[in-house]
Amino acid sequence: MNSIKQLHHALKINRTLIKYGLDEFLAPTPLAKFRPIAKLFSLSFTRKAKNKSRGERLCLALTELGPIYIKLGQMLSTRRDLIPADIADELAKLQDQVEPFSGEIAKQVIEQQLEDTIENLFSDFSEQPLASASIAQVHEATLLENNHSVVVKVLRPGIGKKIQKDLDMMHSLADWAEKYSSEARRFRIKEVVRDYDSTIAREIDLRIEAANTSHLRHNFSQPQDAELLYVPEIFWDYTRNKVLVIEKITGIPIGNIQQLKEAGVNMKALADRGVEIFFTQVFRDSFFHADMHPGNIFVNINNPEKPQYIAIDCGIMGTLEESDKRYLADNFLAFFDRDYRRIAELHVESGWIDSDVSIPEFESAIRAACEPIFGKKIAEISFGHFLIQLFQTARRFNMQVQPQLVLLQKTLLYIEGLGRQLYPQLDLWETAQPYLKHWMYEQIGPKAVFEDIKEQLPNWLQKAPKIPSLIYDNMQRVGEMSNSFNQLKSQLSQLEVHKLQQQYAQKHAIIGSGLVILSGVLYIGMTQNWWPAAIAGIGAAYFLIKSLWSTKH
């Protein structure tokens, strides 16, 4: 990214934030030095929304900056461990509604991707989009092949390049901010942008969304599960990376509470079922819809007493490892028992916090964060806010961000908030506690052990006939290794003896040589005497005799 483009982008952000009275966000960053210039460009603008909160003004600024920044704001709303609650609450309200692109362009994209004409693919195709967002828009259609009513999702032309351009700039500005601003480092701006980058990358390949949808549909394919949640069918023959064709669903948007009540829907059952669906996805399947805002959820009211959820838009899904699920369940259960020491130990055991952290100190911090929650009525306690408190406390002890848990926290806040809109008396703790205890029993109880043995038994039986020969082969190998070891030991012993012999011979050779040299020196000094020659002869004889002796031995 060249410096001119970077400067232009910095000025654009600067000008927009100043326009909405958000100078405070510039102060701790390198962008602050551009404020005087940006104000010159902003003189023609009037200050908007003077009486609005900073969170509301930030939403307006992000909306003006464009679709990618709107999505960034939506993502930031999930990072309550990093940003103030008042800002997170407002960012969560951002609506991703943008001007649609023309139906003719949508048809061109579809024909290019599917390599056929619209007339050969659909008996009916609506050029007027049903809905439009920053990355894609959707059109109603009817498949010519089987007369199925479908929805066709089409990526915006050139969106990939635009997103990459904006992301490159975001990375550049994040690097810049953390280099010069301690406040930016504290909020881990680079980490936030990296998370956003990976999230947005999954949304611009519609095949990923299609695969996620099919997987979620499979998980809820059994009759008892399908009663809870219906996931529309993907038509794979008509799906590519820029086009997705999915079954058209009918239902009442879950945010339309008045219409649901008028239809006679049992609101308590609807709220309870939403909680059950969430925990089933998380703890049974380890695969959960991580974008369950009201715009992606509908309700089938054919049976008002047993309302069925319908989920769409599976572009963002969360997954959990077994260790993550155990960590969450153990933490929740420890919280039910107000066992803060166990919560502290779990963080260390998971490896997310260094083992040299003081457990008593960490326990005390968790107690200070969580104990006030118990001063409220049980129905007022927020599951999601408990997680936020926990993560914020852990962050003070240098806990690394776990992306899968951030997605979980976001989803839990959606579910909990939605559930209480549907049924204000919803007690998520009461609904969740039996489920978690049952899940823990299923994981570590006698039934779990029996199921594990039953699952492994066919594999064991298949290998059983081979066990005697495997034992015999391994015993032979052990014997061969033992013989090899004994041979090596013997060779090493011989080598050691030979080495000692050489050292002994060298010692006497040195002595003999020394005597020869000494006798030579004496002979030079006393050439008239006979005894130096005698000493030299003795030395030479000694040297020869010992050398011959060592050679023989």
- Percentage with pLDDT > 90 across the chain: 23
In the predicted model, what is the mean pLDDT of residues 85-98? Answer: 75
The larger pLDDT score, comparing residue 124 to residue 46, is at 124
Listed ranges 73-87, 125-139, 191-205, 215-229; the one with the highest mean pLDDT: 215-229
In the predicted model, what is the mean pLDDT of residues 475-484? Answer: 63
Q: Note whether residue 259 is domain-resident.
A: no
Q: Note whether residue 256 is domain-resident.
A: no
Q: Note whether residue 397 is domain-resident.
A: yes
pLDDT band at 305 (very low <50, low <70, confident <90, very high): very high
In this structure, the answer to whether residues 319 and 392 fall within a common structural domain is yes
Torsion sign (Cα): 236, 242, 248, 251: positive
> pLDDT digit string (tens) for 318-340?
888 887 887 777 877 787 788 88
In this structure, the answer to whether residues 236 and 271 fall within a common structural domain is no
Which residue bears the tokens 């490896």? Answer: 351
Q: Note whether residue 74 is domain-resident.
A: yes
CA–CA distance, 19 with 246 (Å, rounded to integer): 42
Residues 229-243: b if buried by 16+ CB within 10 A, e if exposed: bbbbebbeebbbebb
In this structure, the answer to whether residues 294 and 432 fall within a common structural domain is yes
Domain boundary among 96, 117, 146: 96
Structure tokens at 120: 């050969």
Q: Note whether residue 497 is domain-resident.
A: yes
Domain boundary among 76, 96, 116: 96
In this structure, the answer to whether residues 437 and 289 fall within a common structural domain is yes
Average pLDDT, the chain: 76
Of the listed ranges 127-141, 382-396, 462-476, the least confidently predicted one is 462-476
In this structure, the answer to whether residues 278 and 144 fall within a common structural domain is no
Listed ranges 88-102, 155-169, 182-196; the one with the highest mean pLDDT: 155-169
In the predicted model, what is the mean pLDDT of residues 63-78? Answer: 75
Q: Note whether residue 289 is domain-resident.
A: yes
In this structure, the answer to whether residues 515 and 539 fall within a common structural domain is yes
In the predicted model, what is the mean pLDDT of residues 101-124? Answer: 95
In this structure, the answer to whether residues 200 and 307 fall within a common structural domain is no
Question: Does residue 22 have a pLDDT over 50?
Answer: yes
In this structure, the answer to whether residues 186 and 70 fall within a common structural domain is no
Residue 548 pLDDT: 45
In this structure, the answer to whether residues 331 and 436 fall within a common structural domain is yes
Report the DSSP beta bridge partners of residue 359: none
Q: Note whether residue 257 is domain-resident.
A: no
Asked if residues 366 and 388 have their Cβ atoms less than 8 Å apart, the reply is no
Domains held by the chain: number: 4
Residue 483 pLDDT: 65
Query: DSSP 3-state assignment of 240?
Result: coil
Q: Give the range of the structural domain holding residue 523, as residue numbers without chain letter.
A: 480-552
In this structure, the answer to whether residues 41 and 70 fall within a common structural domain is yes
Q: What is the pTM of this model?
A: 0.68
Domain boundary among 96, 118, 133: 96
Q: Note whether residue 407 is domain-resident.
A: yes
In this structure, the answer to whether residues 500 and 531 fall within a common structural domain is yes
> Is 291 an active-site residue?
yes
- How many angstroms separate the most distant Cα atoms in the chain? 138
Report the DSSP beta bridge partners of residue 138: 131, 153
In this structure, the answer to whether residues 402 and 509 fall within a common structural domain is no
In the predicted model, what is the mean pLDDT of residues 60-81? Answer: 74
Residue 49 pLDDT: 58
Annotated catalytic residue, options 81, 272, 291, 324: 291
> pLDDT digit string (tens) for 355-412?
788 889 989 988 887 777 666 655 566 666 777 777 777 777 877 666 667 777 777 7
> pLDDT digit string (tens) for 407-449?
777 777 777 777 777 888 777 667 777 777 777 777 666 665 6
CA–CA distance, 467 with 463 (Å, rounded to integer): 7
